[in-house]
Amino acid sequence: MADRGVIIVEVGPRDGLQNEKTPIATTDKLALIGRLAEAGLARIEATAFVSPRWVPQMADHDAVMRGVPQRAGVVYSALVPNEKGAEAALAAGALALAVFTAASESFCRKNTNCSIAESIARFRPVMALAQRAGVPVRGYVSCALDCPYEGEIAPEAVAAVTADLLALGCNEIALSDTLGRGTPARTQAMVEAALLRGPAAMLAGHFHDTSGQAIANVEAAWQLGLRIFDGAVGGTGGCPYAPGAAGNLATERLVAHFEAIGVSTGIDLSALEQAGRWIGTRLRQTAQ
């Protein structure tokens, strides 16, 4: 595996596809994951073990997780909402788990039907399961900059949730600009607040590109020491519980940015771009 100066986490198969209205064939999801692994992505969030009633696109989570192409050095993770989801994900072969809460009480209640504190309490049995299985757990902090219901989120609120997730035992915290409205200055303030509660090595940046500021926000976080960033191939995605949230930052743009400034990603950009074009074509064909 190439020496990487930055770690790119590919969330396209989960966060990129979850909001698509037309069901995507499991074979297409697995083909996409295979292309991403071949391109050199070492961390791929493959699916979400959530209720099909709430996220129909993820109804085939068990088949996807069991069917991912095994490749040395590639870690496939699954998003889980609770202990039941974690048990199912681990049984299907997930090598890492991710849990999700928010820095906004309103968003948390809309997304998970509970308060921030209650959402974190739900993760305790998840952490116990993960510890017994020896797998790492990532914690997502949604609405780290803006909330569709509350507007701008105070950096201190993000820092408080970050601290709670780290105390719970999460190995990594993804600070997520769910709406993609963030600016570099506000990103800097948010990350600086989070860094008061945890080291840069345990923080990741997850930026949507709604306002075209994602790369600038990545750079702001990079300057503060973050070295883990999320991308979704083809810029797919958008949170189903965040009105107005457009696509994630395209992994292709993220890789191109770092390679341009001399930071190795270990990813074949040409192969990644081909994967992006392929899934774009498949999504258009599926929607017809």
- Encode 233-254: b = buried (16+ Cβ within 10 Å), e = exposed: bbbbbbbbbbeebbbbbbbbbb
- Label residue 67 exposed, middle or buried (CB < 10 Å: 0-12, 13-18, 19+): middle
The residues, ordered by sequence, that sit 6+ positions from 98 with a Cβ below 8 Å of its Cβ are 45, 77, 78, 79, 80, 137, 138, 139, 140, 174
Catalytic residue among 108, 143, 147, 239: 239
How, if at all, do strands 151-152 and 146-147 pair?
antiparallel
- The number of C-alpha atoms within 13 Å of 21 and in the hemisphere containing its C-beta is 3
| End-to-end Cα distance, the chain | 39
Query: What sign does the CA torsion over 63, 76, 276, 22 have?
Result: positive
Does residue 239 carry a catalytic annotation? yes
Instruction: Please give the angle made by the CA atoms of 112, 115 and 119, to the nearest 5 degrees.
Output: 60
Q: How far apart are CA 265 and CA 41, in angstroms?
A: 9
Active-site residues, by number, are: 239
